[in-house]
Amino acid sequence: MSKRAKMEPMIKTYDIPSAEERTSNTTDFFVDDINNINSVRLLEIVKTDGSDDACTASVIRTNNGNIAITAAHCIFDYYLQTWNTNLYFFPGYNNNVPGRVGKVYAYKSFIWGDFRQDVTRFDYGFIKFYYPEGRKLQDDTGAFDYDLVIPQGNVPTTVFGYPHDNSGGFVNCPKDGQHLCLWQGDSFDFPSTLPNYEWYRGINVDVGYGSSGGPWLRNYDPNTNAGNVMGISHGILYEPYPDTSTASWAWHQDDFANLLQYAENSQ
């Protein structure tokens, strides 16, 4: 099946927290030390059985200003075929200490319906957050730009994530799920001898559990922590893909733009 087949978006609206809850964990002043690195942080997940899980998400620059990108499998449980119950974002989180923005509640999530048929396809989605009225989350955290057209060939890439297992290929990082880890190297096209090779890009490292949804940045500038999201961590693909390479779904520009527009326009 072509990835250009007609698709329908899926939307999840979360239980509305009280106004007191929404503001009690969020700063009541404008953050004066905006740093784009705060836009990629821990995403806490509550599953349908009440258990906790974690992924990584990052704020992207939009007109709405309150939208992040992560993996679809962090939003929707493919194996249970159910939405996760709640999502909480912690901009600036490090070593069990929330950043100055605090805990931000998810309002709605958006994925492509085709993800339900195959966990390895269309594995990205958007989260729209509650934030104090008249404010934009990206103004307090910074935000990444994004590529609509995914580059081909070998591309210098910076990958972030919150791995919480020792298999994570990040170095010089505790990999305890509490610290933001960084990997830098080339992302690449998979060989044309592999099935559906054009659907994915890869990096030669296993980013580990907890890093799912973490951004792959092109043109990352460590001085400003700016860059363009060109993918997000999916995980290891099934054989015959190598079990040492993390993959990202190579979205088509129309698919990405249409889903993001749907998220921005949703009330």
HEC per residue, 43-89: EEEECCCCCEEEEEEEEECCCCCCEEEECHHHCEECCCCEECCEEEE
Q: What integer pLDDT is reported at residue 75 of this predicted model?
A: 98
Q: What integer pLDDT is reported at residue 145 of this predicted model?
A: 96
Residue 227 to residues 8, 24, 167, 224, 240: CA-CA distances in angstroms?
30, 31, 27, 9, 32
Domain pair 9-29+37-142+254-265 / 145-252, same fold: yes
Handedness of CA 141, 235, 157, 169 (dihedral sign): positive
Q: What is the pLDDT along the chain (267 residues), one digit of tens a residue?
A: 444 567 899 999 998 777 666 655 554 444 444 456 688 889 999 999 999 999 999 999 999 999 999 999 999 999 999 999 999 999 888 887 777 788 899 999 999 999 999 999 999 999 999 988 788 999 988 999 999 999 999 999 999 999 987 666 788 888 888 889 999 999 999 999 999 999 999 999 999 999 999 999 999 998 888 999 999 999 999 999 999 999 999 999 999 999 999 999 998
Number of helices and strands (H, E) in the chain?
A: 3, 17
Level-2 CATH architecture, domain 9-29+37-142+254-265: Beta Barrel (2.40)
Q: What integer pLDDT is reported at residue 25 of this predicted model?
A: 55
**What is the C-alpha to C-alpha distance for residues 101 and 59, in angstroms, rounded to an integer?**
13
Tell me the domain boundaries of the chain. Answer: 9-29+37-142+254-265, 145-252
Strand segments (E) across the chain: 9-13, 40-46, 52-59, 67-70, 76-77, 82-83, 86-90, 104-112, 125-129, 145-146, 155-161, 181-189, 200-203, 215-221, 226-232, 235-236, 246-249
Residue 77 one-letter amino acid:
D
**What is the C-alpha to C-alpha distance for residues 190 and 203, in angstroms, rounded to an integer?**
9
Name the class of domain 145-252: mainly beta
